[in-house]
Chain A
Amino acid sequence: MTAAAIPTRRRRDLNLAPLMILASAAVMAGLILMPLVVVFHDALAKGVGAYFAALKEPDALAAVRLTLLVAAISVPLNAVFGVSAAWAISKFEFRGKSVLLTLIDMPFSISPVVSGLVWVLLFGAQGLFGTWLIDHDVKIIFATPGLVLATILVTFPFVARELIPLMQQQGADEEAAALTLGASGLTTFWRVTLPNIKWALLYGVLLCNARAMGEFGAVSVVSGHIRGLTNTLPLHVEVLYNDYDSVGAFSAASVLAGLGILTLVLKSVLEWRHSGELSANRKH
């Protein structure tokens, strides 16, 4: 197409385009890239030695371990829950389906602080089951189980929300076909349902994991901030920052930021593959 063929209106839009791209790039740089640079800059302010020393500090290592542990428990549980919920919602008709859908979405709409507080109200010393738990010497609040519960609640919807639209679009015909061909329910799930949703599932798990490792609010309420014991990485950052240990705080933050970047890269790769699969579906 030659420039002369383009009507004037189109040409004005074209002139606007670079301006808009520039504007959004500037916003991106200011709001996302700069803070990221600051994180690494401040972490390395006193040299690489101080950076790694801050990371090797026992409390920091404990925080990393705890964060990984909490994610390692809550993400698989939420993956299993998410797949079951999405399976039930997309392949079957039952009463209370919309109620279940609303419930799944609830963690998105309530403040994470509340998601933490409910566990304190249930299992804290003054909570509903508090005395019973103290009598039986079970620690939930200010201990790892509390952190796991809070994380599970907050990251509850990620996997299910990712799968439900895809599975609804795919329908239940393939599963029905597998059953008529003699496959058991379990075989059908492993050989038909799961392969059809694997990329979406991975995508959901990735988002769920990112949130599980980065969660601050809900975890903060149930943690009690005991250094080396109940501080996850985000909590560790806060504690160090409040202690005016900026190198320590930003070093820990750089780990979280690195995690975020890694998630972003994986997510982009998945989106590329996932959308390929989606467009293949659309060819039907």
Chain B
Amino acid sequence: MSFRPTENTSSASKLALEIKGISKAYGRFPALKDVSLQAHDKEFLALLGPSGSGKTTLLRVLAGLEEPDAGEVRFGGEDFLSLPVRERKVGMVFQHYALFRHMTVVQNIAFGLTVRKRAEKPSKSEIKDRVEHLLQLVQLEGLDKRFPSQLSGGQRQRVALALALAIEPRMLLLDEPFGALDAQVRRELRRWLRELHDRAGVTTVFVTHDQEEALDLADRVAILKDGELVQLGTPNEVYEHPKTPFVFDFLGQACRMAGVVEGGRLRVADWESEAPKGAPQGPVEVFFRPDEVAFAPADGTGLAAEVFGISQRGPDVRIDCRIGGEPMELQAHGPSLPPGVATGLSVRIKPLRPKVYATG
């Protein structure tokens, strides 16, 4: 997985968004439990989690479409929760675009400008200029007279963005912006969105359940589970140092085994090594990525594994093996196999960077 270079956003720049102790329940179902996090000015923050983790609820709280039961939201120092939706000036892009179906693309984009109070309303020619500029920005020139139903998913998504940007929002909120698009369009739009963000310079919060998207796009990632914030950090931090087994599992493929830490040594089945720094004592769960392993001959050191299947998966090779009777799926970057690995052979494998969590 590739990461964008870590930008120097964290310490120096000033706080834009502060979320403190937000809780929200629907009837007896708690959607958010005491969530606190901050976003810096012009930061691109991802809310990542499986469905039901509360990420969309949190986004809607920021937009003002849901009211939290407890907690505080400040934006630029201002109490955001006391502001009604229409005065928050956030640009929200909805999962299903929420374009106005009876308006053309131009009318859609201009909507936020034309509904302004008379005193704040730009003149007709100003609106026209602004809309034209936005059409250019989202690369939809020539489609201005179309209705939403005459556009493809990717085009609708870009209109939705133009709509949100038209009001010159203080903050951009995106709810699963690429959820309904196919993989190809998705990757294209992803790059484009990041460039757009960097050019527009707006603090952006976006919700996704796709870890690759979050790690690829965001300056920082907030990982939620069951309404709680599990970890917050740069893509590198959360990927390299997942705080919990859940985060490790959620951010990529995972192999897990039971082990024991005693006196600075980690023991897993017949393999012993130095325990990672800060590892808990006693029975532990050991996690490692299926492609972060070293292979050794059967008389070497490591976990005894029996290879029973090898298959090419695109650029990678999948190696099916059995460790202590349990099937495990490993990965090597192709095209050639690691030396000494073949179907039916016994090998030793050594996890290169195991993560150790107390068995809970």
Contact = CB atoms under 8 A, between A and B. Distances in A.
Given A173-B96, A184-B86, A196-B101, A178 B111 contact: yes
A183 B89 CA distance: 11
A182 B163 CA distance: 12
B86 A177 contact: no
B98 A176 contact: yes
A180 B85 contact: yes
Given A184-B86, A281-B101, A179 B163 contact: no
A174 interface: yes
Given A173-B96, A179-B85, A182-B86, A187 B115 contact: yes
Contact of B115 (A173, A174, A178, A195): A178
A114 interface: no
A177 B63 CA distance: 10
Interface string B86-124: 111111101010111110000000011001100000000
B65 interface: yes
Contacts of B112: 181-183
A177 B111 CA distance: 10
Contact of A180 (B90, B101, B102, B116): B90
A180 B115 contact: no
Interface in A146-199: 173-174, 176-184, 187, 191-192, 195-196
Given A180-B64, A180-B65, A180-B90, A192 B96 contact: no
B143 to A, nearest CB: 16
Contacts of B148: 284
B357 to A, nearest CB: 40
Contact of B94 (A176, A183, A281, A284): A176
Nearest to B65: A176
Contacts, number: 75
Interface string B75-88: 00000000001111
Nearest to A184: B86
B258 to A, nearest CB: 46
B132 to A, nearest CB: 18
Nearest to A191: B115
29 contacts: A173-B96, A174-B99, A174-B100, A176-B65, A176-B85, A176-B98, A177-B92, A177-B100, A178-B115, A179-B64, A179-B65, A179-B85, A179-B86, A180-B63, A180-B86, A180-B90, A180-B92, A181-B91, A181-B163, A182-B86, A182-B112, A183-B86, A191-B111, A191-B115, A195-B102, A196-B102, A280-B147, A284-B96, A284-B149
Interface of A: 173-174, 176-184, 187, 191-192, 195-196, 280-281, 283-284
Given A181-B112, A182-B89, A284-B148, 17 more contacts: A173-B94, A174-B101, A176-B92, A179-B86, A180-B64, A180-B65, A180-B88, A181-B115, A181-B163, A181-B167, A182-B115, A182-B167, A191-B111, A280-B101, A280-B147, A281-B101, A284-B149
